[in-house]
Structure 1
């Protein structure tokens, strides 16, 4: 079976992990700060806080922006549930903005219209979680211009997009137009730390809060306390309610080693995406826009006339491990229980009804890619 996504581990990655295993610290050593700095150096962000998943990163990102009960957070329905769950963890309300059918990212026209309507009812969101679907950056400059007049903070869900650039050439993660950017290092993402995530920001105070929230709310910064014990050499104190979202040194060492391969990984993905677009051009399907600034986490087609389930099953039977990204968030029973209904976001729903994700990963051979194309052609016949 050719999987839809797959990681690549090098001997240097194994050596990096083995070195940690043979060292003195498996966690809370030097590897996490080194990994954080390496990601800052790559993206151009000023601060980075590692955590144990992208989901954890989204959670503390919302908390760092003081999202709480009676607040509202907007995101898109065309994403994994974590993009919305992060607000619900903070007891905030969630609403969605439909996608652009061409880019599959947030629709600027729908966003502008929804902001005008929300302003009339005094239900402006505190935060907008922008999702860079499949690795293609949203139009961040335009989004920032639309939201700034309402004092809305932006979190970039960049789980798909490490290694990508926006329309102005900024690396995703730089936070050129956002308060925070959240990365994921799951094995099918741009690079992997096995499990892990990271939150990037250019605000020192926000970074400090993120770090506390990821480590139980605890700090050793004595300047934050008026306490008779602050002179004790062992002093630490919990300033707020946080979580144990730490990343281990083992994971960080793997992620830091993988980061050295990131540009090569992305270049391979771009080459494969271009080749798909050429090989599939004559089939009755809608292809993704060719974005050479994308990190190409996913390659997703849309069927035009065929039964998706039959095509999906035929591809799986032929040894092609296709998938579907994503079931719209508002389709899930939990969000249905909050009042969301089918038909509310037609662009995302139409996309989902016809979408199939084809295999795409840096080590996908042309031979296997040809097999994918052949099996898809046969399934469509």
Structure 2
């Protein structure tokens, strides 16, 4: 999708609709409306492991940014410590979460040799906040060159597990793991984007006529590190606030003017964001490969533990990838894969830029300086 904006004064534009592709079709259609609400979700697909669905490709954020909207707090990405880690879910797919309630009920995090490691990171051990637990798991994975740790609740007994965690049992057994008899393989994953399109308390963006709610928006509610489930409340409250604002504006504008009907018509796609070129790069025909490369670069530079050097290196790599992508111009046949990759590349460069501008650790943005990494490697 792409937003349609009209200049109603020299220094002011208004969102009047969008250009959309129809499902299972390459046909493009304009949808004109006095109000547009973006509720497109997060940006979890920037990373190789995420709890987000495959369509969480920052489409709303990227569209709004290209239309001139402000984005904020993009560096604050929350990583969940315990995503299920098996061959069934590790191939750039949506990874199921293993509830933190297991740790609340006494589950332990272990190395493959059975040793617990959380007490060495925090006096609260497995009950430490999720960002601390996620970093600890990640560090142990790096230290031992492993792709997961083990979450063990077997000591609580079969009856206890069956009664309190039937959904976890069902999820794990579907993947061939029985938590009653074996520890659960887990690894951290990208979970929630605290930043997004800047809105006011009514969901209104910088661009008149355009609203944003849910994970694609930045209301300021989540600060630098979201509290669990607050996002659900925010989505409900902001959806109501946005709908009320739209209804009130509609009544005010149309009390003395003709009613504006929704228009729909075919459109030819054009964009000033791309440089037409007859030179094609072979790798750009393989969008899935490029997407996986982008995800690995983002995990390296904007993952759980960040350093200035890795963030800068990833920024330069994404910048080069984005330039090559833009240089090829618009394909003759627009596909969801191409559109999503375009949005991911835009969001990746914006996220890394935001992270580089905040050199200190804050909330979900954890920056390790050189002395910390040397000290950790020595212990």
| Structure index of larger Rg | 2
Normalising to structure 1: TM-score of the pair? 0.23
